[in-house]
Copies of this chain bind each other. A is one copy, B any other.
Amino acid sequence: MGTTLAQLAELVDGTVFGDPDQVITGANIIRDAVAGEITLMDKPDQVQLLMENCTASAVLVSQASDKLTIDGIIVANVHEAFGKVVRFFQPWEQKQNTGIHRSAIVSLAAVVDPTATIGAGTVISDGVVIGKNTVVHSGVHIQAGCQIGENVTIFPGVVLYDRTEVGDRCIIHASAVLGAYGFGYDSSTGKHILSAQLGNVVLEADVEVGAGTTIDRGTYGTTLIGEGTKIDNMVMIGHNCRLGKHNLICSQVGIAGSVSTGDYVVMAGQVGVRDHVHIGTGAALGAKAGVGTDIPEGQQSLGIPAGPIKEIMAEHMAIKRLPDMRKTIKSLAKRIEQLEKEAEAASTPVIRKAS
């Protein structure tokens, strides 16, 4: 399957430079593109990489450059245009037909909007409400009383325990689990007796939940994820947590029970946060940080245990210098020893020397 550069230019509303009849057979990023394919350049400093390490036959750019010796198309928005081109060459895309698949199990006591889509084998229990244009893929399990908003996408294998609420435009990726029991026990008898598990999970609007992520229900109340907060794959969020708006929580972060965060908090990969801690608005936690105490607004933290990034970096530098420090101390000790010998010699009565 191929097309001409001129045809692609029409698709993306751009202007050809070079040969408009050049045949293009696919689209790929600079790292992967080969002869016959079109690629994209979103930064001027990629020219060298493109010209020296890539055999692509054409390129999408936002402005012409003398250094480009291959054909191409000039467009207003490179990423938007390249997206259209990539889709043009993709033979198959997962498309959902509106309606309820014949193999789905939908409770008569559930309300599914006629514009919503329910995939094969998906189970919708009593009291569930599914909003307009929402797409629930195959093999999703939505337990009793869940409220799902409009334009939500739920990928296969997701499990929503009873009474989970999902705001408009949320995206929940495959195998995520919302509403499982919190990890709280009364161990006073020598056995671990599970605490109450009567709460639920609420996602406000525009939240994204990554594949395999788990968010536990509140004990009596709600575990809440604020509007616009994005959560990566395999993140664990404990019971009773309250995350603010527009947080970015990277993969494999673990947040223990009853943690709260302000808005625009960023947690890098594999961060761990102790229970009942508060992370202030705009705070950023570096990768693998272990947070045991409240973090003030806007503070950048790092380390295990976490501290202000400058302090931790200084500690890391100091640790690197430890072997040198040991040498310095040894040399100082020798010089002191020498001084002590000299002092002892000086203090010896002259008479002995004279003898």
Q: Could you tell me which A residues sit within 8 Å of B by CB distance?
A: 27-29, 31-32, 40, 79, 82-83, 86-87, 90-95, 101, 103, 105, 119-121, 123, 125-127, 137-139, 141, 143-145, 155-157, 159, 161-163, 171, 173-175, 177, 180-181, 183, 185, 187, 190-192, 194-196, 198, 206, 208, 210-212, 214, 216, 218-222, 228, 230, 232-234, 236, 238, 240, 242, 246, 248, 250-252, 254, 256, 269-270, 272, 274, 287-288, 290, 292, 304-305, 314-316, 318-323, 325-326, 328-329, 332-333, 335-336, 339-340, 342-343, 346-347
Contact = CB atoms under 8 A, between A and B. Distances in A.
7 contacts: A90-B163, A138-B141, A155-B180, A174-B180, A183-B251, A190-B246, A251-B256
Contact of A191 (B190, B192, B246, B270): B246
Contact of A177 (B90, B143, B175): B175
A340 B126 CA distance: 86
A341 to B, nearest CB: 10
Given A159-B155, A287-B274, A214 B194 contact: no
B287 A287 contact: no
B340 A343 contact: no
Give the dominant DSSP class at A's interface. loop
Contacts of A222: 32
Nearest to A229: B192
Contact of A145 (B93, B105, B157): B93
A8 B250 CA distance: 44
A224 to B, nearest CB: 9
Nearest to A143: B94
Nearest to A305: B316
A184 to B, nearest CB: 10
Contact of A346 (B175, B183, B346): B346
Nearest to A29: B221
Contacts of A287: 272, 274, 290, 292
Minimum-distance CB pairs A-B, first 6? A92-B145, A141-B156, A318-B322, A92-B127, A159-B174, A94-B162
A71 to B, nearest CB: 19
Contacts of A159: 139, 155-157, 174-175, 211
